[in-house]
Amino acid sequence: MPLKERISAFDGLDITPEQREILEAIREFVDREVIPVAKELEARDEFPTKIVEGLRDMGAFGMRIPAEYGGLGLDLVTYALVIAELTRGWMAVSGIVNGQYIVSGMIGAHGTDGQKQNYLPRLAVGEIRSCFSMTEPDAGSDVQAIRTIARREGDEFVIDGNKMWVTNGDRASLIALLVKTDPDADPRHTGMTALLVEKEALVAQQNGLTVSPPLGKLGYHGVESVEFAFEEFRVPVSAVLGGEEMIGKGFYQMMSGIETGRINVAARGLGISLRALELSLEYAQQRSAFGKPIGHHQLIQKKITDMATRIEASKHLILAAAKKKDSGQRADIEAGMAKLYATETCQRCAEEAMRIFGGYGYSTEYEVERLYRDAPLMMIGEGSNEIQETIIAKGLLKRHELI
């Protein structure tokens, strides 16, 4: 039975009628097109082709791309809440959209006029897909430890190295790739460059690039994560994000993408939490024990209270970070706080939902077990939560240092 009053990412927030209209449309799409098929597709680890086509028709791939390039030009607040609602249906769906968002945002902020004209209109309509590639087998949160090298030969860069956990990497035609163009630079980040690398979608071997089969994962099924192996892979110098004068500036460009990416991950954590609470409220009123619905037992009530309170706090942390970023200010601390809290809440809500469902929560027949498998990635992605704690503390000490 449906709940009398729904659970959503945006109810209770100070948003405009236009934002609400967009979010209502996304929520309706999720209820109609995503939730009914997510269990079956996720179990087969199947890419949700029909859902992606529907999102493309809605303009979802161009949500943050300016209207002049064919996008919707939405603010970050609206986008984050859209991501939460998509994740409420199935995290794979928001992950597919996210790759497009981060790369198009980097091109919009740092690209040359030619790069914007070339890529943004095609990204906006979903004609091409993109992925963000920074992590390596021996470099995750320590970004400056990457080993992938791009050495210059005339008007080309020759790339050698490996990248791991590239979401959307197989289906992408455009890679935002972080490489070292000066391995001996000191400090290390000054020798790093961001490249816009074109490749063929769904082709495993191509001109010095090998794309692995999808990597096995605990959760986050339905969207591929792959490894890239570059061997003498050549790109023109014009592939440097922002043009040749931006060689050595790639670390800052990629970190700008990560900052907004952390707000995105926080929103995805919120989406999982929302669905966990929604399912728990339904089940707690349907399942009886000791002569009454389990929702009338204090211990279950405590779990529901904790989940709902943490969700409301997560909403406002995400909203604050997105608003600050939208205003043009640095939001590294706020994004880190939102990511840290919302994803820890996500893990907690998924576990509490499983406890409320009892043995059924452990069964693949129920959606709760999928939430439980998807949640841990949110604490790791876009910089682990342990790293977020360091970023927040260092940022606060720098922002509020003694005069």
Among all residues, which ones are annotated catalytic?
382
**Are the C-beta atoms of residues 345 and 314 closer than 8 Å to each other?**
yes
- Tell the residue number behind the tokens 């931006």, with chain if given: 246
Residue 394 tokens, joined: 């260092």
Under a CB-based contact definition with an 8 Å cutoff, are residues 148 and 229 in contact?
no
Are the CB atoms for 132 and 195 separated by under 8 Å?
no
How does DSSP classify residue 248? T
* Burial (Cβ within 10 Å: 0-12, 13-18, ≥19) of residue 44: exposed
Residue 337 near residue 325 (C-beta atoms within 8 A): no
Report the alpha-carbon distance of residue 303 to residue 368 in Å, rounded.
15
Asked if the bond preceding 187 is cis, omega within 30° of 0, the reply is: yes
Question: Cα–Cα distance between 344 and 342 in angstroms, integer?
Answer: 6
- What is the spatial distance between Cα 80 and Cα 207, in angstroms, rounded to a whole number? 37
